[in-house]
């Protein structure tokens, strides 16, 4: 496997130029790395190639110079690829990446969900690195990305090994997040992020800011049910779920709701500092009026639950309601949280 010197000197491919990919590519390029950025948005690519990629927000204000390309314009091979597309775009992206991935290369899944399974199936587990990311960012217009609140950045080999290449990639990401680190339990962080983010997905059913949903004591029963369903599946999978950014899975497994509610309050405090009041899923549903990747993020959890014979009715209903909004059969803010909460009575 390759070391930090190799990754620091070789061209790096960032596949997906949205909030996450744009941020990663911009900071790597700012620190002198050769970065090729791939995206399917012609206007975004054109703006970056003409004016550079403009990054603003809490991490500074600068313009990064890098090459932006369409997938069809990629040539040669890369030893390091950051995959930064939405979960439902993973398979299509991997089909384009694998031909350009060196035999000893690595794909880092900078995504939400459990996309590492799909990547490893095609590229091989030995060429797949997992990552949990929790910083806030969003693309405002072609060629521009705003970086909001900081958050955890954790990387790990799928088999839990601590390797030279893992150290090297973490070192590169410290150009953006100085506290980025490696772990021997990346699956614990990935499942933790899934349990944590199920509330973000649920918040998108209403038009109020995320922090209002997190801090709404009238919805605590719903909050606890959603998180505990995901944690139950993780436990059945033999995963030791990790804590991060105010979320502590142990608080939801003690049987004491007071512990869990205290944790919810800490999570609300984390979101209160964000410059991004609404989730990306809400923006997709309400502003952009397009399908979200929430079902794709939750699909591995649903599949694992079925394999273990676990009922997850609230999580399943959440997916149904998001699909209903996508299809125009429901609208956000129309009592959908009440509908979702009514599903709790089906647990048992």
Average pLDDT, the chain: 93
- Determine the Cα–Cα distance for residues 323 and 346; give it in Å rounded to an integer: 20
- Annotate 102-113 with b (16+ C-beta within 10 A) or e (fewer): eeebbbbbbbbb
Predicted local distance difference test score (pLDDT) of residue 6: 60
- Determine the Cα–Cα distance for residues 57 and 181; give it in Å rounded to an integer: 23
Give yes or no for residue 235 having a pLDDT over 60: yes
- With tokens 């990306």, the residue in question is 280
- Determine the Cα–Cα distance for residues 234 and 36; give it in Å rounded to an integer: 36
Give yes or no for residue 313 having a pLDDT over 70: yes
User: What contacts 252, CB < 8 A, 6 or more positions away?
Assistant: 195, 224, 227, 228, 231, 259, 260, 263
Give yes or no for residue 90 having a pLDDT over 80: yes
Between 1 and 106, residue with greater pLDDT: 106
- Lookup: tokens for 31: 């620190």
Assign 248 a pLDDT band (cuts: 50, 70, 90).
very high
Instruction: Find, among 296, 115, 313, 334, the residue nearest to 204 by Cα.
Output: 334
- Range from 6-15, 61-70, 182-191, 235-244 carrying the lowest mean pLDDT: 6-15
Residues 262-282 have a mean pLDDT of 83
CA dihedral sign, ordered 271, 275, 280, 282: positive
Give yes or no for residue 87 having a pLDDT over 90: yes
- Determine the Cα–Cα distance for residues 53 and 44; give it in Å rounded to an integer: 9
Q: What's 334's DSSP letter?
A: S
Predicted local distance difference test score (pLDDT) of residue 245: 87
Assign 12 a pLDDT band (cuts: 50, 70, 90).
very high
Give yes or no for residue 310 having a pLDDT over 60: yes
Give yes or no for residue 293 having a pLDDT over 60: yes
Predicted local distance difference test score (pLDDT) of residue 7: 58
**DSSP state string for 239-299:** --PPPBTTB-GGGGTSS-HHHHHHHHHHHHHHHHT-S--S-HHHIIIIIS----SHHHHHH
φ, ψ for residue 235, nearest 5 deg: -60, -40
What's this model's pTM, rounded to 2 decimal places?
0.94
Assign 348 a pLDDT band (cuts: 50, 70, 90).
very low
């Amino acid at each position: 496997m390759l070391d930090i010197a190799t990754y620091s000197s070789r061209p790096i491919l960032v596949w997906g130029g949205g909030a996450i990919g744009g941020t990663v590519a911009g900071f790597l390029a700012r620190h002198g790395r050769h970065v090729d950025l791939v995206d399917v948005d012609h206007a975004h690519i054109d703006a970056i190639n003409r004016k550079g990629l403009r990054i603003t927000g809490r991490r500074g204000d600068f313009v990064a110079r890098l090459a932006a390309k369409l997938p069809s314009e990629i040539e040669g091979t890369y030893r390091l690829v950051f995959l930064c597309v939405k979960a439902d775009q993973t398979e299509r992206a991997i089909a384009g990446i694998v031909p350009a991935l060196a035999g000893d290369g690595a794909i880092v899944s900078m995504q939400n969900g459990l996309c590492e399974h799909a990547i490893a199936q095609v590229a091989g587990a030995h060429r797949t690195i997992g990552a949990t990311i929790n910083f806030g960012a969003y693309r405002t217009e072609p060629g521009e990305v705003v970086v909001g609140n900081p958050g955890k950045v954790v990387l790990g080999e799928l088999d839990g090994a601590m390797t030279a290449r893992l150290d090297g990639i973490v070192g590169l990401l410290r150009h953006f997040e100085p506290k980025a680190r490696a772990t021997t339990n990346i699956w614990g962080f990935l499942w933790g992020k899934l349990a944590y983010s199920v509330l973000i997905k649920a918040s998108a059913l209403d038009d109020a800011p995320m922090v209002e949903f997190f801090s709404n004591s009238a919805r605590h029963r719903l909050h606890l049910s959603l998180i505990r369903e995901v944690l139950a599946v993780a436990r059945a999978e033999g995963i030791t779920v990790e804590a991060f950014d105010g979320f502590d899975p142990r608080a939801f497994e003690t049987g004491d709701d007071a512990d869990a509610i205290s944790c919810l309050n800490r999570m609300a405090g984390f979101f209160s500092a964000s410059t991004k009041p609404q989730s990306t899923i809400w923006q997709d549903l309400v502003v952009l009026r397009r399908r979200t990747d929430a079902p794709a993020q939750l699909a591995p959890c649903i599949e694992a639950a079925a394999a273990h014979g676990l009922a997850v009715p609230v999580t399943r209903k959440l997916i149904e309601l998001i699909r209903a909004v996508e299809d125009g059969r429901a609208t956000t803010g129309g009592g959908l949280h009440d509908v979702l909460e009514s599903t709790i009575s089906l647990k048992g």
